[in-house]
Chains A and B, each alone.
Chain A
Amino acid sequence: MNDMRIVERTVDTHDVKIDAKDVNVHYGTSHALKGVSVAIPDKTVTAFIGPSGCGKSTFLRCLNRMNDTIASCRVDGLIALDGEDIYDRRVDPVQLRAKVGMVFQKPNPFPKSIYDNVSYGPKIHGLTRNKAELDEIVESCLKKAALWNEVKDRLHSPGTGLSGGQQQRLCIARAIATSPEVLLMDEPCSALDPIATAQVEELIDELRSSFSVVIVTHSMQQAARVSQRTAFFHLGNLVEYGETGQIFTSPQDPRTESYISGRIG
């Protein structure tokens, strides 16, 4: 009991980074997300779990307004980043996405060299003053994404020539190179081997010290290992959201219980 309270207090000391209230998403006439309210704290890793098609990616894409690019998609409700409504008319979605970076479910490196892939964001946002600084960012991001050793000799060969798992790590490096405040990761490890997965998990843990990470995953173990908070989605509803430990050990909702035990057991 005591333990529980301590953990809760450490979480409470962090500010809420993203506050979503009663978010509904429609794709045309289909209702994909139904009244989801989540408060994502700063400097934590939040995991979204749930069966396929339950709306995890959809909700993730709401957080950086990537759904704007889908013509049929309509988002209602309130999503605030640092207390400011991100769907407000004054907010520039482009600037928002620079602050809320994203790694996609499928690796999508640009048809450019590895170096250019990673330096894309810093160049666009003018984060560096000279080539040396850019080189440094590229190197450190590739190292954080556990890719440096594999590509350091061929930084100028095409990123599309890497293997699927290497491409995904390249996309992670590319996303962290813009130094976002929030990083959204949609199943970042689904194409990775256990070693690379461990490295990425280590990276996620490291990133937590400077910003908040939201990760969608199908692996219960991964959610348990890397996240402090977990949200369980089912058929477009947010069923349960809370401490990762509590979700996995004593879920309140029978649906959460059966999903977790079904997967783990």
Chain B
Amino acid sequence: MSVLLLLAVMAAIGAAGYIFCRGRVMAQVGGNPRELHSLPGYYGWNGAIMATLPALAVMVVWLIAQPLILESRVVSHLPEATAAEPAARKLAMADIRRVASGLDLAVAGGAIPAQDVATISPGEVRARLGTVGVALGSDVTPETLAAAITWRDQARSGLIGRSVVVILVALAGLAYALMATKPDFRARNRVEKVVLGGLIAASTVAILTTVGIVASMLSESFEFFGMYPWTEFFFGVTWSPNFSGGSTFGFLPLLWGTLYITLVAMLVAVPLGLFAAIYLAEYASPRARSVIKPLIEVIAGIPTVVFGIFALITVGPFLRDWLAQPLGLGNSGSSVMTAGIVIGILNIPYISSLSDDIINAVPQSLRDGSFGLGATKSETVRQVVLPAALPGIVGAGLMATSRAIGETMIVVMGAGAAAKLSLNPFEAMTTMTVKIVGQLTGDTDFGSPETLVAFALGMTLFVITLCLNILALYVVRKYREQYE
């Protein structure tokens, strides 16, 4: 039975659980729901949950455990040397799986009669599988074939076992729920507990993902710092990786480039976005608003690589010809200014959209209070509306900052890829994200510091954005305490 079919069966048992438990409790009180502790539907839901949830858990565990168990069983077919070496063992296992699934396909497609599978000779496997479209790179060794046949057999019995066990668990859950169904059973509380569990699980997924990301990056970063002194990484001022050895990984030019470009981007995005939001929320007529707001939000839908092109062929040359060269500040089209301005424009709709919602959420009574004292519209906006909306606006700004720090494509095309420490905003510089991509593309050897430095950079970037978020929380909370 396939997983999908099994799920369908479980759903059917769950539906039966709903109907039976609801019917049973209603019969017990003679159709008078007032004598029940909970609404009849809750008894039904309890039945459905008890029938499906444990069975689902068993199925998930089985799905995870079966390949592991199978692997330990077939490993005995492999030569000692292969079994002992993790990498070779991994490769051999992949072969076995491919052959096993090829045999399945061949049997299903009629290329090999089912009863012949056990007796097939290693020499003809490759040709036979080729006829059903399973291409194998080399001839199959007898050990691999034997292992594949064992794998296939065991997997099939595992499949049957899985269906039987899961259905039994579902039925047992149903029976248990039916027995527990009595008028004074607190079905509502039980169901709500399960819902609560679901909510907690949902939030745990996000947290666990973060923990997982950090853990995987941490181990690689530690490996890097084992090869390269951390003082030179964090305080070094030259970045010159060299894949043939002798690299220096000074992180400061990258940090500087990142912060500089982000600063320029925010100097563009925050005022423009905020002013647009104030216009939309406080001044625009409903008709103007219904046209302008979607138009601004169109920007958010443009792929960043298109923005990169804009930076490369329009903004960069323009800034070079009209500002950098006349002022004698260099003649590079790629510059911090170019990338910063374009990233800033990209972030305008985020800030304006979020701030617009936040400003709209400020109660009208506050505006009325201010107008009633003879304040003008702009005094009201500046002194009442914006302070009330500030925590949300700070949040929007920090969200945009995180996006700006993480932006890669526009930096490559607008600011170049040269790591440099300079105050001149018309010079080409680059950011951490660009260098992470640079170190991981092309010929990568995950044991060399040239590659591992990417993880150290990623980890540092993560810590920086984390600090930014903590700062934001602190600012917002401090503000709240003052005014709520």
Contact = CB atoms under 8 A, between A and B. Distances in A.
Nearest to B286: A71
A104 B365 contact: yes
A61 to B, nearest CB: 9
A101 B372 CA distance: 6
B194 interface: no
Contacts of B286: 71
A104 B368 contact: yes
B376 A160 contact: no
Interface in B360-405: 363-376, 379, 383-384, 387-388
Given A108-B363, A111-B387, A160 B368 contact: no
A175 B484 contact: no
A137 interface: no
A30 interface: no
Given A106-B365, A112-B387, A160 B484 contact: yes
5 contacts: A69-B367, A101-B372, A101-B373, A110-B388, A174-B373
Given A104-B369, A171-B369, A125 B374 contact: yes
Most chain B beta-carbon contacts within 10 A, residue among A94, A101, A125, A178: A94
Is chain B's interface secondary structure helix, strand, loop, or mixed overall? Answer: helix
A111 B484 contact: yes
A158 B388 CA distance: 12
Contact of B374 (A106, A108, A109, A178): A178
Contact of A178 (B373, B376, B383, B387): B373
B322 interface: no
A123 B125 CA distance: 92
B157 interface: no
A240 B368 CA distance: 30
Contacts of A96: 374
B388 A66 contact: no
Contact of A69 (B368, B374, B384, B484): B368
A249 interface: no
Nearest to A123: B383
Contacts of A97: 371-374
Nearest to A110: B384
Interface in B316-362: none
B368 A108 contact: yes
A161 interface: yes
B383 A158 contact: no
Contacts of B375: 94, 120-121, 124
B366 A108 contact: yes
B369 A108 contact: yes
B482 A102 contact: no
Interface string A169-199: 0010011001000000000000000000000
Given A109-B369, A110-B384, A175-B373, 20 more contacts: A66-B368, A69-B364, A69-B368, A69-B371, A97-B371, A101-B372, A101-B373, A102-B373, A106-B365, A108-B363, A108-B368, A110-B383, A110-B388, A112-B387, A120-B383, A124-B379, A125-B374, A158-B482, A158-B483, A174-B373
Contacts of B384: 110-111
Contacts of A64: 372
A110 B363 CA distance: 10
A96 B482 CA distance: 33
A98 interface: yes
Contact of B370 (A71, A101, A110, A158): A110
Contacts of A101: 372-374
Contacts of B483: 111-112, 158, 160
Interface string A60-71: 000010100101
Interface of B: 286, 363-376, 379, 383-384, 387-388, 482-484
A72 to B, nearest CB: 11
Contacts of A160: 483-484
Contacts of B364: 69
A95 interface: yes
Which residue among A71, A97, A171 has the maximum number of chain B CB atoms within 10 Å of its CB? A97
A57 to B, nearest CB: 11
Contacts of B372: 64, 66, 97, 101-102, 104, 175
Contacts of A94: 371, 374-376
A189 B387 CA distance: 28
Contacts of A111: 366, 384, 387-388, 483-484
A64 B369 CA distance: 12
A95 B365 contact: no
A160 B481 CA distance: 11
A97 B379 CA distance: 14
Interface in A20-79: 64, 66, 69, 71
Contacts of B369: 104, 108-110, 171, 174
Nearest to A95: B374
Contacts of B365: 104, 106, 108
Nearest to A94: B376
B482 A121 contact: no
Smallest CB-CB A-B distances: 5 pairs? A98-B374, A102-B372, A108-B365, A111-B483, A97-B374
Contacts of B367: 69
Contacts of A174: 369, 373
Q: Could you say which of B365, B373, B483 has the most chain A C-beta atoms within 10 Å of its C-beta?
A: B373
Contacts of A109: 369
